[in-house]
Structure 1
Amino acid sequence: MPIAMLAKAPAAGLRLAEVAEANRPTQLPLLARIAEMLATSESVTHLLVRGSLASGTADRLSDVDFVVGVHDRDLPAFTTALDDLMTIAGGALLPGWRDAIVADLGGVGFVYLVQHEGKLHQIDVYLAPASRISTIKGQTAAMVLLERPSAGITTTHIGQARHHLADLQGRPRTCTELLIEHLVLAVLLHKRIQRGQRFVAYAEWHRLHTATKDLIKAALAPTSRFWGWYRLREEVALTPIGRTCLADLDAAISSPAVPEAADVDAALNRVLELTRRACPHALDGLADAVAAYRTYMEMA
């Protein structure tokens, strides 16, 4: 679905005043811009905002957390077009990370990093079939920004949407996707450290190390039949590059259990060097984006 096809319907009816009334968040202009962009698509039937922006507890580090209801018939095409929409029209620095942390609500989540007022902000976009939205509203304390009629959804459409989501969730991640996961997790970790959220930082730090292991396996043992960390040395340490990558991984898992900001920065530097060494194609087309990302991280 090209971007031109996503921008047909007017963005009328967005109930942004309710969010503003909740707590006047500094992210409101960014929320409004992304909401208006998403609402221009005729495929979008619902826009919800959840998390701290919906509850009135947002701070300057809070992410903008959307649930986007998409007509079941259009979900595969909309998912395919989302990266282009968010990077070209939404100003995201990088393609989205397929969120592995978000709760399963019957859809799929993506995390984007968007520059706003000189800082990187996290935009969470959870795509869900329109047929699931009533259930999601009952499961979350989300605030409705937009609600349109979603008539014409057939059992065939629902089946197509479910099949698409199952295929997407089951597809192995590429080296590029795993590199983007590191970049997103580094932003999340800096946020946890600034807030003093040690337990969450511990969990996300372990997830970053796991992403490093997955990146090494995707680059050097893509046909591995072994799950997780099992037989990693036997599969990877067969070449000088593999042994160097495992040394990087050893340095990562030997770091403190709960990181400081300097630990996160060192891990990111290691991963970028590892990527250049083991799978340089993962950086194709991302050099400027990664440079901009690092500049914004230094300004944070």
Structure 2
Amino acid sequence: MTTALSPALASLRLAEVAEANRPAQMPLLIRIAELLAASDSVTHLLVRGSLASGTADRLSDVDFVVGVHDRDLPAFAAALDDLMTVAGGALLPGWRDTIVADLGGIGYVFLVQHEGKLHQLDLYLAPSSQISTLRRKVTGKLLLDRPPTEITTSQIEQARSHIAELLARPRTCTELLVEHLVLAVLLHKRICRGQQYVAYAEWHLFHTATKNLIKAALAPASPYWGWYQLREEIACTPIGRACLAELEVAITSPPVPRSTDVDAALDRVLTLTQRACPHALAGLADAVTAYRTYLELA
């Protein structure tokens, strides 16, 4: 039987999150918590970050750790994009987060529209068998604690193998385009807050994603790691030379970007995607249009 957060449980647990302040993100937090808790596969929900500590501002993300029964984690992860885009208000598929610390699970970042604004939603899926260990490493507020049914050794291994395979799988052009879109939102947030060091790091991730997108589109079987042999592999066609020209503009931009730099880089990436792997952009055309509208309204 499916169990959602009861009004009493939601009131009790969410009051702890809101006791220091009343962040504007609270209605979104409640909505997503109830959506996730409606699945029998979800055994634990923790909210962490500034919303848990009472230091949230209008730019703060909604950050959950989601404990999923080891038996169900592969299927739940596979269905997460559909759940979040259909029922959660996400504009795009989730970005498989490469910034979050490794806590034995899988991190995703979704861009969710709520009350006319675009919000960052971080979901870290962790096997239920790892939650006790994870809670010793993560500071947060517990919203849901539903004892799982028996977890077997084989289920633990199944979840562990699925996570390892997912993290090792090369990203598709569509996934790399989503990575750019998410990183652009993160960069605008860092610039607005004056977080120069973090902006520097995420700007490098943005350029690396551009390089990875070019390689995934034009040299998917490349035996070379990282930035090696790009010119030798890519510059042998007119499309490849045009893509490398876009990449050269990117890597010679200021090391700490301004908002206008991020916007220009995003325009270049969308042009590059249309040139090198139009199928990735075609599948997200409406979502990208909505995304850019929300950025303009921010």
Q: Shorter chain as normaliser: what TM range? A: over 0.9
User: Partner of 1:72: helix, strand, or coil?
Assistant: coil
1:94-109 correspondence to structure 2 within 5 Å: 94-109=92-107
Q: Please name the residue that 1:80 is paired with.
A: 78
- Output the CA distance in 1 between the equivalents of 2:161 and 2:200: 34
Are the aligned partners of 1:72 and 1:131 in contact in 2 as well (CA < 8 Å)?
A: yes
Q: Please name the residue that 2:277 is paired with.
A: 279
1:144-293 correspondence to structure 2 within 5 Å: 144-293=142-291
**Structure 1 unaligned runs (5+)?**
1-6
- Output the CA distance in 2 between the equivalents of 1:64 and 1:198: 22
1:190 CA drift (Å): 0.1
1:119 CA drift (Å): 1.3
Which of 103, 108, 111 aligns to 1:110? It is 108
- Output the CA distance in 2 between the equivalents of 1:131 and 1:205: 36
Answering whether residue 61 of structure 2 is matched by residue 67 of structure 1, we say no
- Output the CA distance in 2 between the equivalents of 1:83 and 1:268: 23
How far does the alpha carbon of each residue in 1:98-145 deviate from its partner, in whole angstroms, 9 at most, with x for none? 000000000000000001121110000000000011111110111100
Which of 4, 8, 19 aligns to 1:10? It is 4
Deviating 4+ runs (over 4 angstroms)? none
Are the aligned partners of 1:108 and 1:165 in contact in 2 as well (CA < 8 Å)?
A: yes
Are the aligned partners of 1:22 and 1:54 in contact in 2 as well (CA < 8 Å)?
A: no
- Output the CA distance in 2 between the equivalents of 1:63 and 1:32: 13
Give the residue type in structure 1 aligned to 2:95.
W
Q: Please name the residue that 2:141 is paired with.
A: 143
Are the aligned partners of 2:89 and 2:114 in contact in 1 as well (CA < 8 Å)?
A: no
1:151 CA drift (Å): 3.0
Give the residue type in structure 1 aligned to 2:126.
A
How far does the alpha carbon of each residue in 1:76-116 deviate from its partner, in whole angstroms, 9 at most, with x for none? 00000000000000010000000000000000000000011
TM-score (ref. length: structure 2): 0.97
- Output the CA distance in 2 between the equivalents of 1:58 and 1:177: 29
- Output the CA distance in 2 between the equivalents of 1:88 and 1:9: 20
How far does the alpha carbon of each residue in 1:133-185 deviate from its partner, in whole angstroms, 9 at most, with x for none? 11111101111000001131011110000000001001000000000000000
Aligned length: 294
**Structure 2 unaligned runs (5+)?**
none
Are the aligned partners of 2:18 and 2:54 in contact in 1 as well (CA < 8 Å)?
A: no
Which of 26, 35, 40 aligns to 1:42? It is 40
User: Partner of 2:112: helix, strand, or coil?
Assistant: strand
Q: Please name the residue that 1:4 is paired with.
A: none
- Output the CA distance in 2 between the equivalents of 1:10 and 1:137: 22
Give the residue type in structure 2 aligned to 1:66.
F
Q: Please name the residue that 2:295 is paired with.
A: 297
Give the residue type in structure 2 aligned to 1:148.
R
Identity, in percent, stands at 74
Give the residue type in structure 1 aligned to 2:221.
T
User: Partner of 1:139: helix, strand, or coil?
Assistant: coil
> For the aligned residues, what is the CA RMSD?
0.9
Are the aligned partners of 2:43 and 2:69 in contact in 1 as well (CA < 8 Å)?
A: yes
Which sits farther off after the overlay, 145-154 or 264-273? 145-154
